[in-house]
Amino acid sequence: NMPARTLASDACAREQAQHDGSMWQKPGLTCGTLFVVGAMNLIDCINFCLLTPYVDRMVSSFLGRPTNDGSVVHTVGILIGLYSLCEVVFSPFWGYLADVFGRRPVMLIGLGGSIIAPLMFGFAENLSMAFVARAIDGFFCGNSGVVKTYLGEVVDS
């Protein structure tokens, strides 16, 4: 089993290569990597905007009130904002995990969660389940900073 690469191990590898006179080469940007990173960013954007067209009707049906009722509008605002709040709150957690275990495993875990959470939201049968699904989606999309960091690390200057 090969140990996970971290920033520290990359720095050590560079330093060792300079000391030995050998060449250290960082991973390059390939079409496959660019496609995956682009797809992950697209999924994050879709997940953020996914519920905008229908969330007012969904909340209205859960609360049993018309879509223009104040409590429906308030709940919709909280439901939409919960995603961003969770994304911001959990970004440092994902950054820490990426430093410890490597960028790729963390990105894949986040991608898996970003696929499952919208399905949970779509199948929500009550408001509580919708809130939980939205929070989980924001939690897993908190790794969007990791995706951007990974892209910055593999792009050649």
In 3-state terms, the chain is what percent helix, strand and coil (to 5)?
80, 0, 20
Query: Global pTM?
Result: 0.75
- What are the CA-CA distances from residue 48 to residues 43, 118, 125, 152, 154 (Å)? 9, 10, 20, 23, 26
pLDDT of residue 157: 57
Distance CA 41, CA 119 (A): 18
pLDDT of residue 26: 62
Residue with tokens 């879709």: 46
Distance CA 120, CA 101 (A): 27
pLDDT of residue 96: 93
Torsion of CA 63, 65, 67, 70, to 10 degrees: -90
Distance CA 71, CA 63 (A): 9
pLDDT of residue 8: 46
Each residue's pLDDT expressed in tens, for the chain with a length of 157 residues: 444 444 444 544 555 555 565 565 666 777 887 888 888 888 888 888 877 888 999 999 999 999 999 999 999 999 999 998 999 999 999 999 999 998 888 988 988 898 899 899 999 999 999 999 999 999 998 888 888 888 888 776 5
pLDDT of residue 15: 54
